[in-house]
Amino acid sequence: MDIQAELISIGNELLSGRTLNTHGRDLGEALSALGLRLSRDTTIPDEINTIGNAVDEAFSRVDVVFVSGGLGPTVDDITRDALAKLLGQKIVLHQPTVEHLKSWYEKRGRNITIAATRQAQVLESAVVLFNSAGAAPGQRIELAGGRMLFVLPGPPNEFNAILNEEIVPWLQNRFADIRPRIVRVVKTKDIGESDIVTILEEHGFEPADVELGFYPAMGKVEIRLTAAPNHEASVTAAEQSLLKLLADHLDLYE
pLDDT (tens digit, 9 = 90+) per residue, 82-111? 999 999 999 999 999 999 899 888 888 888
The domains of the chain are located at 4-174, 182-249
Least confident of 11-15, 51-55, 63-67, 103-107: 103-107
Residue 167 has pLDDT above 90, yes or no: yes
- pLDDT at residue 1 greater than cutoff 80: no
| 204-236 tens-digit pLDDT | 999 999 999 999 988 899 999 999 889 999 999
- The CATH-assigned architecture of domain 182-249 is 2-Layer Sandwich (3.30)
| pLDDT at residue 254, rounded to an integer | 59
Q: Is pLDDT at 169 greater than 70 in this prediction?
A: yes
End-to-end CA distance of the chain: 34
pLDDT for the residue numbered 107 = 87
Is 182-249 in the same CATH topology as 4-174?
no
DSSP labels, the chain: ---EEEEEEE-HHHHTTSS---HHHHHHHHHHHHT-EEEEEEEE-S-HHHHHHHHHHHHTT-SEEEEES--SSSTT--HHHHHHHHHT--EEE-HHHHHHHHHHHHTTT----TTGGGGGEEETTPEEE--TTSSSPEEEEE-GGG-EEEEE-SSHHHHHHHIIIIIHHHHHHHTTTPPPPEEEEEEEES--HHHHHHHHHHTT---TT-EEEEEEETTEEEEEEEE-GGGHHHHHHHHHHHHHHTGGGB-TT-
CATH number of 4-174: 3.40.980.10
Please compute the mean of the pLDDT values over residues 157-170 and round it to a whole number.
Answer: 98
